[in-house]
A and B are shown apart, each in its own frame.
Chain A
Amino acid sequence: MAEAAATALAVAGMAAVTYATRAAGLFLVNRLRLAGRWEPFLQSIPGTVLVSILAPAVLAGGPAEWLAAAATVAASLRFRSLPLALAVGLAVVWVLRRIT
Protein backbone atom coordinates (compact mmCIF):
# COMPACT_ATOMS: atom_id res chain seq x y z
CA MET A 1 0.00 0.00 0.00
CA ALA A 2 1.24 3.49 -0.80
CA GLU A 3 2.64 5.20 2.25
CA ALA A 4 0.27 8.18 2.14
CA ALA A 5 -2.77 5.91 1.83
CA ALA A 6 -1.60 3.75 4.73
CA THR A 7 -1.10 6.83 6.91
CA ALA A 8 -4.54 8.18 5.97
CA LEU A 9 -6.21 4.84 6.77
CA ALA A 10 -4.38 4.56 10.11
CA VAL A 11 -5.32 8.10 11.13
CA ALA A 12 -8.94 7.69 9.99
CA GLY A 13 -9.35 4.43 11.92
CA MET A 14 -7.74 5.82 15.06
CA ALA A 15 -9.90 8.96 14.81
CA ALA A 16 -13.11 6.94 14.46
CA VAL A 17 -12.30 4.64 17.39
CA THR A 18 -11.26 7.57 19.58
CA TYR A 19 -14.36 9.65 18.85
CA ALA A 20 -16.54 6.62 19.55
CA THR A 21 -15.03 6.36 23.06
CA ARG A 22 -15.62 10.10 23.61
CA ALA A 23 -19.28 9.91 22.56
CA ALA A 24 -20.19 6.51 24.05
CA GLY A 25 -20.39 7.55 27.72
CA LEU A 26 -22.98 10.29 27.21
CA PHE A 27 -24.85 8.16 24.66
CA LEU A 28 -25.16 5.24 27.11
CA VAL A 29 -26.20 7.45 30.03
CA ASN A 30 -28.87 9.11 27.88
CA ARG A 31 -30.21 5.80 26.56
CA LEU A 32 -30.13 3.68 29.68
CA ARG A 33 -31.48 6.34 32.04
CA LEU A 34 -29.21 5.00 34.72
CA ALA A 35 -30.61 5.57 38.16
CA GLY A 36 -30.76 4.12 41.66
CA ARG A 37 -27.67 2.10 42.40
CA TRP A 38 -25.88 3.56 39.39
CA GLU A 39 -26.10 7.08 40.71
CA PRO A 40 -23.40 6.69 43.39
CA PHE A 41 -21.37 4.86 40.74
CA LEU A 42 -21.56 7.75 38.27
CA GLN A 43 -21.07 10.40 40.93
CA SER A 44 -17.89 8.77 42.18
CA ILE A 45 -16.30 8.45 38.71
CA PRO A 46 -14.56 11.84 38.61
CA GLY A 47 -12.69 11.16 41.85
CA THR A 48 -11.77 7.56 41.08
CA VAL A 49 -10.57 8.45 37.56
CA LEU A 50 -8.29 11.18 38.91
CA VAL A 51 -7.00 8.91 41.71
CA SER A 52 -6.28 6.19 39.13
CA ILE A 53 -4.34 8.61 36.93
CA LEU A 54 -2.42 10.01 39.89
CA ALA A 55 -1.53 7.03 42.08
CA PRO A 56 0.92 5.30 39.68
CA ALA A 57 2.29 8.66 38.48
CA VAL A 58 3.08 9.91 41.99
CA LEU A 59 4.44 6.54 43.11
CA ALA A 60 6.79 6.45 40.09
CA GLY A 61 8.51 9.61 41.31
CA GLY A 62 11.03 10.03 44.11
CA PRO A 63 11.19 12.12 47.30
CA ALA A 64 11.27 15.36 45.26
CA GLU A 65 8.01 14.49 43.50
CA TRP A 66 6.37 13.24 46.71
CA LEU A 67 7.17 16.44 48.59
CA ALA A 68 6.06 18.55 45.64
CA ALA A 69 2.80 16.56 45.48
CA ALA A 70 2.20 17.22 49.19
CA ALA A 71 2.97 20.91 48.68
CA THR A 72 0.55 21.07 45.73
CA VAL A 73 -2.26 19.51 47.78
CA ALA A 74 -1.55 21.83 50.72
CA ALA A 75 -1.52 24.90 48.46
CA SER A 76 -4.72 23.80 46.74
CA LEU A 77 -6.52 23.26 50.06
CA ARG A 78 -5.25 26.57 51.45
CA PHE A 79 -5.75 28.90 48.47
CA ARG A 80 -8.40 27.05 46.40
CA SER A 81 -6.70 28.26 43.23
CA LEU A 82 -5.54 25.92 40.47
CA PRO A 83 -2.90 28.21 38.91
CA LEU A 84 -1.44 28.98 42.34
CA ALA A 85 -1.32 25.30 43.33
CA LEU A 86 0.33 24.51 39.99
CA ALA A 87 2.93 27.24 40.49
CA VAL A 88 3.74 25.97 44.00
CA GLY A 89 4.05 22.37 42.76
CA LEU A 90 6.30 23.27 39.83
CA ALA A 91 8.49 25.54 41.97
CA VAL A 92 8.95 22.90 44.70
CA VAL A 93 9.77 20.10 42.24
CA TRP A 94 12.20 22.36 40.35
CA VAL A 95 14.05 23.39 43.54
CA LEU A 96 14.12 19.89 45.04
CA ARG A 97 15.46 18.31 41.82
CA ARG A 98 18.32 20.81 41.85
CA ILE A 99 19.40 20.00 45.41
CA THR A 100 18.82 16.24 45.46
Chain B
Amino acid sequence: MSRVSFDRAGLLRGARESWPIALGVFTYGLVFGVLARQAWLGAGGALSMSAFVFAGASQFVALDLWGPDLPFAGLFLTTLAVNLRHVLMGAALGPWFSRLTPLQAYGSLFFMNDESWALTLARCSREDGDVDGAYLLGSGLTVYAAWLASTALGHLAVAGLGDPARYGLDFAFTAVFLALLTGLRRGRQDILPWTLAALVAVLTARLMPGKWHILAGALAGSLAAAWLPRFGSGRG
Protein backbone atom coordinates (compact mmCIF):
# COMPACT_ATOMS: atom_id res chain seq x y z
CA MET B 1 0.00 0.00 0.00
CA SER B 2 1.25 3.46 -0.83
CA ARG B 3 2.62 5.74 1.86
CA VAL B 4 0.57 8.68 3.16
CA SER B 5 2.74 11.72 3.79
CA PHE B 6 1.82 15.06 5.36
CA ASP B 7 4.28 17.68 4.23
CA ARG B 8 4.80 21.10 2.74
CA ALA B 9 4.98 19.75 -0.82
CA GLY B 10 1.51 18.21 -0.55
CA LEU B 11 0.12 21.34 1.06
CA LEU B 12 1.48 23.53 -1.74
CA ARG B 13 0.26 21.12 -4.43
CA GLY B 14 -3.25 21.25 -3.00
CA ALA B 15 -3.13 25.03 -2.86
CA ARG B 16 -1.73 25.35 -6.38
CA GLU B 17 -4.25 23.05 -8.03
CA SER B 18 -7.24 24.72 -6.36
CA TRP B 19 -7.39 28.01 -8.25
CA PRO B 20 -10.24 26.91 -10.55
CA ILE B 21 -12.46 26.01 -7.59
CA ALA B 22 -11.35 29.08 -5.61
CA LEU B 23 -12.54 31.20 -8.55
CA GLY B 24 -15.99 29.62 -8.39
CA VAL B 25 -16.12 29.93 -4.59
CA PHE B 26 -15.11 33.59 -4.87
CA THR B 27 -18.14 34.45 -7.01
CA TYR B 28 -20.45 32.70 -4.51
CA GLY B 29 -18.78 34.52 -1.62
CA LEU B 30 -19.47 37.86 -3.30
CA VAL B 31 -23.14 36.93 -3.55
CA PHE B 32 -23.15 35.84 0.11
CA GLY B 33 -21.62 39.15 1.19
CA VAL B 34 -24.19 41.16 -0.78
CA LEU B 35 -27.12 39.09 0.52
CA ALA B 36 -25.83 39.25 4.12
CA ARG B 37 -25.88 43.02 3.92
CA GLN B 38 -29.43 42.94 2.56
CA ALA B 39 -30.48 40.60 5.41
CA TRP B 40 -29.10 43.11 7.95
CA LEU B 41 -26.31 40.80 9.06
CA GLY B 42 -23.40 43.15 9.84
CA ALA B 43 -19.93 42.90 8.35
CA GLY B 44 -18.57 41.38 11.57
CA GLY B 45 -21.36 38.82 11.69
CA ALA B 46 -21.02 37.90 8.02
CA LEU B 47 -17.24 37.54 8.29
CA SER B 48 -17.34 35.50 11.49
CA MET B 49 -19.97 33.22 9.95
CA SER B 50 -17.75 32.69 6.90
CA ALA B 51 -14.71 32.18 9.15
CA PHE B 52 -16.21 29.74 11.67
CA VAL B 53 -18.96 27.96 9.76
CA PHE B 54 -17.33 28.03 6.30
CA ALA B 55 -20.16 26.16 4.57
CA GLY B 56 -21.78 28.14 1.78
CA ALA B 57 -25.14 26.45 1.41
CA SER B 58 -25.97 26.52 5.14
CA GLN B 59 -24.89 30.17 5.35
CA PHE B 60 -27.32 31.11 2.57
CA VAL B 61 -30.08 29.24 4.37
CA ALA B 62 -29.22 31.07 7.61
CA LEU B 63 -29.67 34.43 5.83
CA ASP B 64 -33.14 33.27 4.89
CA LEU B 65 -33.99 32.83 8.58
CA TRP B 66 -32.15 35.96 9.74
CA GLY B 67 -34.18 38.56 11.61
CA PRO B 68 -34.85 40.13 14.99
CA ASP B 69 -36.17 36.88 16.46
CA LEU B 70 -33.70 34.21 15.43
CA PRO B 71 -35.21 30.71 15.50
CA PHE B 72 -32.13 29.04 17.01
CA ALA B 73 -33.38 25.44 17.06
CA GLY B 74 -34.60 25.68 13.48
CA LEU B 75 -31.37 27.34 12.41
CA PHE B 76 -29.19 24.60 13.92
CA LEU B 77 -31.39 21.80 12.58
CA THR B 78 -31.34 23.18 9.03
CA THR B 79 -27.58 23.63 9.31
CA LEU B 80 -27.30 19.97 10.28
CA ALA B 81 -29.56 18.88 7.42
CA VAL B 82 -27.73 20.94 4.82
CA ASN B 83 -24.29 19.73 5.98
CA LEU B 84 -25.08 16.07 6.70
CA ARG B 85 -23.49 15.19 3.35
CA HIS B 86 -20.10 15.95 4.99
CA VAL B 87 -20.45 12.72 6.98
CA LEU B 88 -20.39 10.63 3.81
CA MET B 89 -17.58 12.72 2.35
CA GLY B 90 -15.44 12.35 5.48
CA ALA B 91 -16.06 8.61 5.51
CA ALA B 92 -14.83 8.35 1.93
CA LEU B 93 -11.50 9.90 3.00
CA GLY B 94 -11.11 7.21 5.67
CA PRO B 95 -8.66 4.91 3.87
CA TRP B 96 -6.06 7.71 3.77
CA PHE B 97 -6.96 10.00 6.64
CA SER B 98 -7.07 7.21 9.23
CA ARG B 99 -3.29 6.96 8.71
CA LEU B 100 -2.64 10.60 9.66
CA THR B 101 -2.31 11.86 13.24
CA PRO B 102 -5.61 12.99 14.81
CA LEU B 103 -4.47 16.63 14.73
CA GLN B 104 -3.54 16.43 11.03
CA ALA B 105 -6.75 14.61 10.08
CA TYR B 106 -9.32 16.45 12.21
CA GLY B 107 -7.57 19.79 11.69
CA SER B 108 -7.69 19.38 7.91
CA LEU B 109 -11.34 18.32 8.05
CA PHE B 110 -12.37 21.75 9.30
CA PHE B 111 -11.44 23.02 5.83
CA MET B 112 -13.23 20.24 3.93
CA ASN B 113 -15.65 21.69 1.37
CA ASP B 114 -17.36 19.97 -1.55
CA GLU B 115 -14.83 21.14 -4.12
CA SER B 116 -11.63 20.52 -2.12
CA TRP B 117 -12.96 17.13 -1.09
CA ALA B 118 -13.54 16.10 -4.69
CA LEU B 119 -10.08 17.30 -5.75
CA THR B 120 -8.48 15.51 -2.80
CA LEU B 121 -10.24 12.27 -3.62
CA ALA B 122 -9.16 12.46 -7.23
CA ARG B 123 -5.60 13.02 -6.01
CA CYS B 124 -5.64 10.20 -3.42
CA SER B 125 -7.27 7.67 -5.76
CA ARG B 126 -4.43 7.79 -8.28
CA GLU B 127 -2.64 4.50 -8.15
CA ASP B 128 0.89 5.71 -8.72
CA GLY B 129 3.13 6.91 -5.92
CA ASP B 130 2.53 8.22 -2.43
CA VAL B 131 -0.51 10.08 -1.20
CA ASP B 132 -0.33 13.74 -0.12
CA GLY B 133 -2.14 13.84 3.22
CA ALA B 134 -1.80 17.64 3.35
CA TYR B 135 -3.49 18.12 -0.03
CA LEU B 136 -6.94 18.70 1.51
CA LEU B 137 -5.51 21.30 3.91
CA GLY B 138 -3.74 23.17 1.09
CA SER B 139 -6.82 23.15 -1.09
CA GLY B 140 -9.12 23.98 1.82
CA LEU B 141 -7.02 26.95 2.94
CA THR B 142 -7.06 28.36 -0.60
CA VAL B 143 -10.84 28.07 -0.78
CA TYR B 144 -11.09 29.47 2.77
CA ALA B 145 -9.08 32.55 1.79
CA ALA B 146 -11.26 33.06 -1.30
CA TRP B 147 -14.45 32.64 0.77
CA LEU B 148 -13.36 35.17 3.44
CA ALA B 149 -12.06 37.74 0.97
CA SER B 150 -15.16 37.56 -1.21
CA THR B 151 -17.52 37.73 1.80
CA ALA B 152 -15.81 40.94 2.89
CA LEU B 153 -15.72 42.37 -0.62
CA GLY B 154 -19.36 41.52 -1.31
CA HIS B 155 -20.46 43.03 1.99
CA LEU B 156 -18.41 46.22 1.78
CA ALA B 157 -18.38 46.93 -1.93
CA VAL B 158 -21.36 48.34 -3.74
CA ALA B 159 -23.74 45.67 -5.00
CA GLY B 160 -23.11 46.71 -8.59
CA LEU B 161 -21.20 43.61 -9.63
CA GLY B 162 -24.20 42.14 -11.34
CA ASP B 163 -25.15 38.55 -11.76
CA PRO B 164 -22.29 36.01 -12.03
CA ALA B 165 -24.43 34.22 -14.63
CA ARG B 166 -23.71 37.08 -17.02
CA TYR B 167 -20.11 35.90 -17.23
CA GLY B 168 -20.95 32.20 -17.24
CA LEU B 169 -19.24 31.84 -13.85
CA ASP B 170 -22.25 30.14 -12.28
CA PHE B 171 -21.38 27.19 -14.53
CA ALA B 172 -17.89 26.85 -12.98
CA PHE B 173 -18.99 24.43 -10.24
CA THR B 174 -20.88 22.20 -12.64
CA ALA B 175 -17.87 22.10 -14.96
CA VAL B 176 -15.42 21.31 -12.14
CA PHE B 177 -17.60 18.52 -10.74
CA LEU B 178 -18.21 17.05 -14.21
CA ALA B 179 -14.46 16.95 -14.90
CA LEU B 180 -13.81 15.29 -11.54
CA LEU B 181 -16.57 12.76 -12.13
CA THR B 182 -15.10 11.64 -15.46
CA GLY B 183 -11.87 10.92 -13.56
CA LEU B 184 -13.67 8.79 -10.95
CA ARG B 185 -15.23 6.44 -13.50
CA ARG B 186 -14.42 2.82 -12.67
CA GLY B 187 -16.39 1.03 -15.38
CA ARG B 188 -19.66 -0.84 -15.79
CA GLN B 189 -20.04 -1.34 -12.05
CA ASP B 190 -20.78 2.39 -11.80
CA ILE B 191 -23.79 2.35 -14.15
CA LEU B 192 -26.40 1.17 -11.66
CA PRO B 193 -25.29 3.21 -8.60
CA TRP B 194 -24.84 6.39 -10.64
CA THR B 195 -28.17 6.05 -12.44
CA LEU B 196 -29.98 5.44 -9.16
CA ALA B 197 -28.15 8.34 -7.46
CA ALA B 198 -29.13 10.68 -10.31
CA LEU B 199 -32.79 9.62 -10.23
CA VAL B 200 -33.14 9.88 -6.46
CA ALA B 201 -31.26 13.21 -6.37
CA VAL B 202 -33.46 14.75 -9.07
CA LEU B 203 -36.64 13.54 -7.36
CA THR B 204 -35.51 14.72 -3.92
CA ALA B 205 -34.48 18.11 -5.28
CA ARG B 206 -38.03 18.48 -6.66
CA LEU B 207 -39.64 17.56 -3.34
CA MET B 208 -37.37 19.10 -0.71
CA PRO B 209 -35.45 22.35 -0.29
CA GLY B 210 -31.81 22.62 0.70
CA LYS B 211 -29.23 19.96 0.00
CA TRP B 212 -31.09 16.80 0.98
CA HIS B 213 -30.81 15.57 -2.59
CA ILE B 214 -27.05 15.04 -2.22
CA LEU B 215 -27.44 12.82 0.83
CA ALA B 216 -30.48 10.95 -0.52
CA GLY B 217 -28.98 10.34 -3.96
CA ALA B 218 -25.58 9.28 -2.63
CA LEU B 219 -27.09 6.91 -0.05
CA ALA B 220 -29.39 5.29 -2.62
CA GLY B 221 -26.60 4.86 -5.15
CA SER B 222 -23.98 3.62 -2.72
CA LEU B 223 -26.36 1.22 -0.95
CA ALA B 224 -27.19 -0.21 -4.37
CA ALA B 225 -23.46 -0.56 -5.07
CA ALA B 226 -23.04 -2.54 -1.86
CA TRP B 227 -26.11 -4.74 -1.90
CA LEU B 228 -27.31 -5.29 -5.44
CA PRO B 229 -25.78 -7.77 -7.87
CA ARG B 230 -23.22 -6.24 -10.17
CA PHE B 231 -23.72 -5.89 -13.88
CA GLY B 232 -21.85 -8.54 -15.81
CA SER B 233 -20.00 -9.99 -12.86
CA GLY B 234 -22.76 -12.25 -11.55
CA ARG B 235 -21.77 -11.45 -7.99
CA GLY B 236 -24.84 -11.49 -5.74
Contact = CB atoms under 8 A, between A and B. Distances in A.
B4 interface: no
Given A48-B225, A55-B201, A77 B182 contact: yes
Name, among A56, A68, A75, the residue most crowded by chain B CB atoms within 10 Å (CB to CB).
A56
A47 B181 contact: yes
Most chain A CB neighbours (cut-off 10 Å) among B53, B80, B190 = B53
Nearest to B206: A56
Interface in A38-93: 38, 40-59, 61, 65, 68-69, 72-73, 75-77, 80, 82-83, 85-86, 88-91, 93
A89 B197 contact: no
Interface residues on B, range: 35 or more
B221 A13 contact: no
B181 A25 contact: no
Interface in B198-236: 198-202, 205, 213-223, 225-227
26 contacts: A13-B72, A14-B49, A14-B53, A18-B79, A24-B87, A26-B91, A29-B90, A29-B91, A30-B98, A41-B226, A47-B185, A47-B186, A48-B197, A51-B201, A51-B221, A52-B217, A52-B218, A52-B221, A53-B114, A55-B198, A57-B174, A58-B174, A73-B178, A76-B183, A77-B182, A90-B168
Given A21-B80, A47-B184, 18 more contacts: A10-B72, A18-B58, A18-B83, A22-B83, A23-B90, A25-B90, A26-B90, A26-B97, A26-B109, A38-B226, A42-B91, A49-B88, A52-B215, A68-B171, A72-B179, A85-B182, A89-B179, A90-B175
Interface of B: 17, 19-20, 41-42, 44-45, 48-49, 52-55, 58-59, 62, 70, 72, 75-76, 79-80, 83-95, 97-98, 105-106, 109-110, 112, 114, 118-119, 121, 125, 165, 167-169, 171-186, 190, 193-194, 197-202, 205, 213-223, 225-227
